[in-house]
Amino acid sequence: MKIEHLVWLRNDLRCLDNPALHSASLEANALKKGVGVVVTITPTQWSEHNESDAKTGLRAELIKTLAKTLARLGIPLHIINADTYDALPDVMTAFCLDHGIKHLWFNRDLPIHEQQRDHAVCEQLHQHQIKTHTLSADLIVPQAVFSQQGTPFKVFTPFFKRWLTLLAQQDITPLPAPESQADPLPEPSLNFLTWEKPFRDDLWPAVHDIAKQKLWLFCHHKERHYQESRDYPMQPATSALSPYLALGALGPRQCLEAIIYTCNQEERRWQDSIWLKELAWRDFYRQLMEHFPFLSMNRPFKQETNALLWRNNKAEFVAWCEGKTGFPIIDAAMRQLNQTGWMHNRLRMVTASFFTKLLFADWRKGEAYFMSQLIDGEFSANNGGWQWSASTGCDAAPYFRVFNPTRQSQTYDKNGDFIKRFVPELATLDAKSIHNPSPEQRKQCGYPEPIIDYKPARLAAIAAFDELKGR
């Protein structure tokens, strides 16, 4: 079978519910032509975007798994090495011409560098009469969510209400995987994709069926209690599916399907699911990237916050990165990040608030460090979360986002179990002392004194935003 249709996969490494792969397969089958898949490898570009070794390693293994699945369907997967986005127009064009490709299909990416990449590739392909087909972005609600005035939402709550309305109007059934188009192909050898990048494959196996199983187990056993248990880092209450969503091993509509089925079985309104709301936040931040391209350029959403004079103390930054701030819950969270490539969601807010409000350090430095460590690093969500915490983004309120780390610890890690797990030098302390050890206890445990004084640091942050308001 002559292959004339090529599907370009990026952060959508799956067969199920993949608009580009589904549409390309339908059209190719109707014309009795074949479909191929291509994945572009751009390690220098990923490095420039601060992508973590953990995410790179997981991506490589997911590509291998996907290649085997496609081979069983008679669909070949090709690897193109291009190093950076700038090289892609030439190498993609050369590949298409060499292989007789007449159609390129892909799902939209929303950050500006990715949009520029896609535009450049399409423009060059069009010069050679190769048609390009752009499908919807990897969102639950793929179309733009606008207000009644036709403008993008800048606050989540009204966005969510409109998002739910649009969701009720669309077909929410996940798209099927493509049918077999030929006899199974020989199993591809892609050992060169390891790149020697380690990741916690014991926590996130690079197997699509396991990711799907984790999704349904979460919805069956944990989703109902998500709201009341999600804030406690020692409880296995979160889905921990974010690495699979970040690379597209799971599609967001697959998550929606699981939510709807589970809620219907339990006679609950699926629209009230708090986990669904979390997925809506993901859509929200992704759409902001498209509507406000400057968010991809290290600029704050609230332009007036450019006037803030961040302290940017180098020693404090290093202490925060290494989990040696002298605040046990902050240090435990940062060590969890460094050791696993993942951090509990509440602790992401607490550590980001500590960084931007108490250390009063530039949120862009924290954002970049998180991306360099996170196995689930998504640029839009990471940027949105950091700007939310720094009160430089949309939907931001500076006074309510100066978290007291000790109080957060006492509330959500009451017995200090999470702290003991990641800050083992404090494991002998009792449940009361562990949240803020005395100077003597710190000395005995070999644990540092706090690098800042909470109360004056909090007041200084509030004063800085007050001054900003007054301008």
212: its two tokens = 């799907």
Q: Burial level of 315, CB count in 10 A (0-12/13-18/19+)?
A: exposed
Do domains 3-137 and 139-173+207-291 share one topology? The answer is no
pLDDT at 29: 93
Residue 1: pLDDT band (50, 70, 90) is confident
Determine the residue type at 34.
G
Choice among 11, 27, 46, 278 that is catalytic: 278
Choice among 105, 204, 320, 363 that is catalytic: 363
Strand partners, 8: 38
- When the candidates are 3.40.50.620, 3.90.550.10, 2.60.130.10, 3.40.50.300, the CATH number that belongs to 3-137 is 3.40.50.620
Mean pLDDT of the chain: 95
pLDDT of 228 over the 70 cut: yes
pLDDT at 195: 72
Choice among 163, 320, 342, 386 that is catalytic: 386
Q: Which DSSP helix (H) or strand (E) runs through 95? A: helix 88-99
The residue-averaged pLDDT of 403-412 equals 97
Annotation marks residue 278 as catalytic: yes
Q: What's the angle, vertex CA 155, arms to CA 152 and CA 160, rounded to 5?
A: 85
What pTM was computed for the model? 0.96
pLDDT at 116: 96
Q: Which residues lie closer than 8 Å to 149 by C-beta, 6 or more apart? A: none
pLDDT at 396: 58
- When the candidates are 2.30.38.10, 1.10.579.10, 3.40.228.10, 1.20.1630.10, the CATH number that belongs to 297-469 is 1.10.579.10
Q: Which DSSP helix (H) or strand (E) runs through 106? A: strand 103-107
Annotation marks residue 320 as catalytic: no
pLDDT at 368: 98
Percentage of residues in the chain with pLDDT exceeding 90? 93
Choice among 46, 310, 338, 404 that is catalytic: 310
pLDDT at 22: 97
Quote the distance between the C-alpha of residue 4 and its chain's center: 33
CB 355 within 8 A of CB 320: yes
Choice among 29, 313, 338, 345 that is catalytic: 345
Choice among 281, 338, 404, 425 that is catalytic: 281
The residue-averaged pLDDT of 419-442 equals 98
The residue-averaged pLDDT of 216-222 equals 97
Residue 197: pLDDT band (50, 70, 90) is confident
Annotation marks residue 342 as catalytic: no
- Find, among 254, 422, 253, the residue nearest to 334 by Cα: 422
Percentage of residues in the chain with pLDDT exceeding 70? 98
CA atoms of 377 and 383, how far apart (whole Å):
10
The residue-averaged pLDDT of 338-342 equals 97
pLDDT of 470 over the 70 cut: no
CA atoms of 404 and 272, how far apart (whole Å):
30
Structural domain boundaries of the chain? 3-137, 139-173+207-291, 297-469
Strand partners, 106: 134
Annotation marks residue 310 as catalytic: yes
pLDDT digits (tens, 9 = 90+) for 124-162: 999 999 999 999 999 999 999 999 999 999 999 999 999
CATH class of the domain whose range is 139-173+207-291: mainly alpha
pLDDT digits (tens, 9 = 90+) for 65-81: 999 999 999 999 999 99
Strand partners, 5: 35, 103
pLDDT digits (tens, 9 = 90+) for 243-297: 999 999 999 999 999 999 999 999 999 999 999 999 999 999 999 999 999 999 9
pLDDT digits (tens, 9 = 90+) for 296-334: 999 999 999 999 999 989 999 999 999 999 999 999 999
